Structure 1
Amino acid sequence: MPRIVKVAAAQIGAVHRDSSRDSTISRMIDLLNTAVSKGAQLIVFPECAFTTFFPRYLFSDPAEMESYFEDDAGGNSIADSKNVKPLFDKAREAGVDIWVGYGERTSSGQHFNTAVYFCGKTGEVISKYRKVHVPGFVNPPFPGAEVHLEKRYFETGDLGFEAFRAPGLIPNALKANTGEEDTDGKGDAIIGSLICNDRRWPESWRPYGLQGAELVLVGFNTNGKADDIYKPRQPISLEDAREQALFHHRLSMQYNSYANSCFSISAGRCGMDDGKFDLIGGSSIVDSDGHIIAEAKTVDDEVVFAEIDLEECRKGKKDIFNFAVNRQPQTYGIITAQKGYVEPKLLF
């Protein structure tokens, strides 16, 4: 039976260091309203969506750095935060689900790059994810370097890769205690979350695949500029650097969707922050065979919309990626036993 869900990626254009939280939230509400007008049930926003991508800066004022984070002691507190509450109120009013990334400050003073899934019908945050593969540096590698300092501002996510059920997206979804023996692909949608660099790592996706994920949600901020730190193999123009960054983004989303027989939605920031930080956009919706079925056409605020059928995931899950039949986990020990690469010994 078809399991249709109407989904949207809400791409956000340039947000500057001095952009107010209110102005950004207003733009996000406009995107939400546009998505709702198209019939969207689920809307995905980017990583660190409420502000500019602040980890690119080395802050001299700790108070300014802390201003980019939202207090979130657990439960529904982010949905009730005065800084961002209007967005969650609008989702609740419209009865739609949203996934949104932000900088989280815990009650114990930890800082994470976090995303939550908010169910508009119940008015609750039903899942939280913290970025695991935190890239970048603790300190600038040379004076004046403007690069991602994510390791300076974010700790490694500690919630793992836990899939969850999203209630209400699929009419007449099978519920618990019905006595049904064959529940495969009949319940509420199974969803996983990733943030930016996580999408590049197969280890991020496979735990969701092993939980039967049908839809993986990704928010990102990806630089399109070939800078002095992440140098390409050959000298490259800004245009070519952007195209290469887009290629790697698409490759990550398409292959991992295919390899785990799931749909994916990626929502990115884009445009030129503060006139010098180029972000690629490329927000997209990918099907369970790895095909892009909808993609952003601009580098500005834009809604990418598609109607997807989660029943299509069943083919891959029962065929080439039938994990129960074809996986051989007894041979994969090196994946968890080793962190960095170790070359084989030299010959002779």
Structure 2
Amino acid sequence: MPRTVKVAAAQIGSVHRTSTRASTMERMIKLLDSAAAKGAQLVVFPECAFTTFFPRYLFHDKEEMESYFEDDAGGNSIAESKNVKPLFDRARELQVDIWVGYGERTPEGRHFNTAVYYSGRTGEVISKYRKTHVPGFVDPPFPNAEVHLEKRYFETGDLGFQAFRVPGLVPGTLKADTTESDTEGKGDPIFGSLICNDRRWPESWRPYGLQGAELVLVGFNTNGKADDIYKPRRPISLEDARKEALFHHRLAMQYNSYANSCFSISAGRCGMDDGKFDLIGGSSIVDSDGHIIAEAATVDDEVVFAEIDLEECRKGKKDIFNFGVNRQPQSYGIITEQKGVVEPKLLA
């Protein structure tokens, strides 16, 4: 039987250092309303969606740095935060689920790059994810460098890759009290979360594949400019650097969707923040065979919409990527036993 879900990626254009939470919130709610008008049951927003991508700056004023974070004591607290409550309230009114990224500050004063899945039907946060593959630097590599300082502001995520089921999206699903013995692919949809750099690492996706994930949600902010830090392998123009960044973004989303037989939604920031930070956009929806079925056409606020059938995941999960039949975990020890590169010994 078809298991269709109407989904959307809410791409967000330029958000400057001077942009207020209120102005950004207004734009996000407008995108949510637009997606809901198309029939979307789920809307995915970018990484650090409520502010500009602040880790590019070196803050000398701790108060200013802290202003970019949201207090989150767990449970439903982020949905009640005065800065961002209007978005969650609107999702509740519309009965539309949202996935959104933000800078999280815990009651203990820890900081994470975080995303939550909020059910507009139940009014509850049903999943939280913290970015695992945190890139960049703790300190600028040279004076006045404006680069990713994510390692300065965010701890490594500590929640792992925990898939979760989402209620209310697909009618007629099997529940825990079923007497049926074959429940695979018949329960509520199974989702997973990733943030930006995580999408480039196959190790991020495979745990979700092993939990039967049918849809992986990704928020990102990706630079399109070739700078002095992340130099391309060859001399390259700004235009070609942007194309290269988009190519690698699509490659990561398409291959990993295919290799885990799942759909994916990626929602990104785009445009020129503060007139100098070029973000690629490229928000998309990819099917379980790795094909892009919907993609942003602009570098501005835009809703990317598609109706997907999660039943299409079953073929890959039972065929070429039938993990239970074809995986050989006894041969994969090096993946978890070793972190950096260890080359074979030199030849005599």
**TM-score clears 0.5:** yes
Give unpaired runs (5+ residues) of structure 2. Answer: none
Extract structure 1 runs of 4+ deviating beyond 2 A. none
The equivalent residue for 2:78 is: 78
Whole-angstrom distance in 2 between the partners of 1:238 and 1:174: 51
Write the deviation string for residues 4-40 of structure 1: whole angstroms up to 9, x where unpaired.
0000000000000000000000000000000000000
Residue identity in the other structure for 2:182: D
Pairwise CA distance, 1:66: 0.1
Whole-angstrom CA distance in 2 between matches of 1:61 and 1:126: 34
C-alpha distance in 2 between matches for 1:172 and 1:80: 32
Q: How does 1:52-201 map to 2 (within 5 A)?
A: 52-201=52-201
1:307 aligned to 2:307? yes
Q: In the TM superposition, what is the alpha-carbon distance from 1:56 to its structure 2 partner?
A: 0.1
Between the aligned partners of 2:255 and 2:234, the Cα distance in structure 1 is 25
Determine if the alignment matches structure 1 residue 336 to structure 2 residue 320: no
Q: Helix, strand or coil: the match of 1:187? A: coil
Alpha-carbon distance in structure 1 between the residues aligned to 2:140 and 2:31: 35
Which residue of the partner structure matches residue 286 of structure 1?
Answer: 286
Deviation at 1:112, TM superposition (A): 0.1
* Distance apart, 1:173 and its partner CA: 1.1
1:273-304 superposed Cα distances (whole Å, 9 cap, x missing partner) = 00000000000000000000000000000000
| SS, match of residue 112 in structure 1 | strand
Instruction: Note the 1:210-221 alignment, pairs <5 A.
Output: 210-221=210-221
Give secondary structure in 1 for the equivalent of 2:109.
coil
Q: Tell me the distance in 1 between the aligned counterparts of 2:189 and 2:42.
A: 11
Alignment RMSD (CA, Å): 0.3
Q: How many residues align?
A: 348
Residue identity in the other structure for 1:82: K
Matched residue, 2:222: 222
* TM-fit CA distance, 1:235: 1.2
Aligned 1:244-323 pairs, distance under 5 A = 244-323=244-323
How far the C-alpha of 1:55 sits from its partner, in A, is 0.1
Mapped to 2, the partners of 1:171 and 1:299 lie a distance apart of 36
Q: Which runs of 5+ in 1 are unaligned?
A: none
Q: Deviations over 1:25-65 (max 9, x none)?
A: 00000000000000000000000000000000001110000
Which residue type is aligned with residue 272 of structure 2? M
Kindly state the Cα deviation for residue 177 of structure 1 after the two structures are TM-superposed. 1.1
TM-score (norm 2): 1.00
**Deviations along 1:136-166, whole A, 9 cap, x unmatched?**
0000000011100000000000000000000
1:28 equivalent in alignment to 2:28:
yes
Structure 2 equivalent of residue 50 of structure 1? 50
1:256 and 1:169 mapped to 2: Cα distance? Answer: 24
1:192 maps to amino acid: G
* One-letter amino acid of the structure 2 residue matched with residue 155 of structure 1: E
State the alpha-carbon separation in 2 of the partners of residues 343 and 214 from structure 1.
36
Query: TM-score with structure 1 length normalisation?
Result: 1.00
2:253 and 2:39 mapped to 1: Cα distance?
24
Aligned counterpart, 1:346: 346
Cα deviations across residues 149-202 of structure 1 (Å, max 9, x unaligned)?
000000000000000000000011111111011101111000000000000000
Q: Distance in 2 between the 1:178 and 1:292 partners? A: 35
User: 1:326 aligns to what?
Assistant: 326
The residue number in structure 2 matching 1:2 is 2
The AA in structure 2 aligned to 1:27 is R
Aligned to 1:13: 13
Counterparts of 1:53 and 1:47 in 2: how far apart (Å)?
8
